[in-house]
């Protein structure tokens, strides 16, 4: 089970969380988020953790040049696109760096999974494929980190086996991550608000429990 702790804002927290051995940490570059990290701090985190923990850069409707510059400066191997980026945007990123792993986030509400199917069909037309798809709950005006859950039963029924690996996000916490994994059967899980004592502040004991519970359920 691939486990990502998202929204790390400082080097000391990154060091402590890395010691708990998640597979990845998320560095949020969305300026409007309470979890946004400065570029210089992100560079230090990425440089220190690169050998043991993957750093995933999270972007929301950034300019292509910004994503390229930040990913180069932080030597990112993973990029998570959490906005309204079209498949053509992914194609340009992969042309710039064919080795980059792109996680495309989708916010699922009442409209269901038609948008995911259409998006992935367009990716196929462009001869590209996201490394993984992250599924989060659709909350109007928000791009994630809300603590709201997507329907687990609906997700398991709708997500097609031929699609990229599934990363489950939205409303996960230590108390429910095991149940969520058993209900959905994802490739990975991603948490931000569910392991925080306040917005943007990670609680180490919650992070530890989340990782342990996720691995045990897998």
The catalytic site residues sit at: 6, 136
Taking CA atoms, 189 is separated from 123, 145, 147, in Å, by: 23, 13, 14
Measured between alpha carbons, how far is 69 from 188 in angstroms, rounded to an integer?
A: 27
Query: What's 151-164 look like in SS3?
Result: CHHHHHHHCCCCCC
Q: Are 194 and 175 in contact (CB under 8 A)?
A: no
DSSP 104-139: EEEEE-TTTTHHHHHHHHHHHHTT---SEEEEEE--
Measured between alpha carbons, how far is 94 from 129 in angstroms, rounded to an integer?
A: 10
């Amino acid at each position: 089970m691939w486990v990502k702790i998202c929204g790390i804002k400082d080097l000391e927290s990154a060091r402590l969380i890395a010691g708990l051995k998640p597979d990845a940490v998320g560095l949020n570059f969305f300026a409007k988020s309470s979890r946004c990290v400065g570029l210089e701090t992100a560079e230090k985190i990425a440089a220190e953790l690169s050998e043991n923990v993957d750093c995933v850069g999270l972007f929301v409707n950034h300019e292509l040049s910004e994503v390229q510059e930040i990913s180069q400066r932080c030597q990112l191997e993973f990029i998570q696109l959490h906005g309204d980026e079209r498949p053509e945007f992914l194609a340009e990123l992969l042309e710039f760096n064919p080795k980059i792993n792109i996680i495309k986030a989708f916010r699922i509400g009442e409209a269901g999974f038609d948008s995911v199917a259409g998006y992935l069909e367009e990716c196929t037309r462009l001869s590209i494929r996201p490394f993984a798809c992250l599924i989060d709950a659709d909350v109007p005006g928000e791009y994630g980190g809300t603590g709201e859950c997507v329907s687990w039963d609906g997700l398991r029924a709708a997500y097609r086996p031929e699609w990229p690996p599934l990363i489950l996000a939205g409303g996960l916490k230590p108390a429910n991550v095991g149940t969520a994994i058993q209900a959905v059967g994802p490739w990975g899980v991603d948490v931000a608000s569910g392991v925080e004592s306040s917005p943007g502040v990670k609680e180490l004991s919650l992070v530890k429990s989340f990782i342990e519970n996720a691995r045990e359920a897998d």
